[in-house]
Amino acid sequence: MRLGFARFLKILFSSFFIQTSWSFFSLQEMGFLFTLISGAKKEQKDRIIKTHKGFFNTHPYMSSYIAGATVRAYDDEKSSDEEIKKFTTIAQTSFASAGDLLFWNTLRPALLVLSVILALKSGIIGPIVFLVAYNVFHLYHRINGIREGYNRGKEVIYLLKSKRFTTVQKIFEILGAFCSGLLISVISLKVNYLLVIPLAALFMLLLLKRFSSILIIVVAVLLLLIMLIL
Residues 78-97 that bind another protein (CB under 8 A): 96
Taking CB under 8 A as the criterion, which residues in 117-136 touch another protein?
Answer: 119-120, 123-124, 126-127, 130-131, 134-135
Site membership for another protein, residue 187 (CB under 8 A): yes
27: contact with another protein by CB under 8 A: yes
Tell me 52's DSSP state: T
Give residues 189-208 in contact with another protein (rule: CB under 8 A).
189-192, 195-196, 199-204, 206-208
Interaction between residue 140 and another protein (CB under 8 A): no
Among 10, 79, 81, 100, binds another protein (CB under 8 A): 100
Q: Which is nearer to another protein, 37 or 151 (CB)?
A: 37
- Residue whose CB is less far from another protein, 80 or 180: 180
Q: Which long-range contacts (CB under 8 A, 24 or more apart) does 174-180 make?
A: 175/110, 175/111, 175/114, 176/106, 176/109, 176/110, 176/113, 179/110, 179/113, 179/114, 179/117, 180/113
Nearer to another protein, 86 or 131 (CB): 131
Closest CA to 33 of 71, 3, 4, 2: 71
Would you count residue 143 as binding another protein (CB under 8 A)?
Answer: no
Nearest to 150 by CA among 67, 40, 55: 67
Report whether 118 contacts 186 (CB < 8 A): no
H or E segment to which residue 210 belongs:
none
113 binds another protein (CB under 8 A): yes
Q: Which of 80, 89, 167, 180 binds another protein (CB under 8 A)?
A: 180
The answer to whether the beta carbons of residues 61 and 103 sit under 8 Å apart is yes
The residue from 108, 143, 147, 211 that contacts another protein (CB under 8 A) is 108
Identified binder of another protein from the candidate list 44, 79, 85, 138, rule CB under 8 A? 138
- From residue 33 to residue 52, what is the string marking binding to another protein with x (rule CB under 8 A)? xx--x-----------x---
Distances (CA, A) of 107 to 58, 120, 141, 162: 17, 20, 13, 18
Size, binding site for another protein by CB under 8 A? 87
Beta carbons of 24 and 57 less than 8 angstroms apart: no
Which C-beta is closer to another protein: that of 2 or that of 195?
195
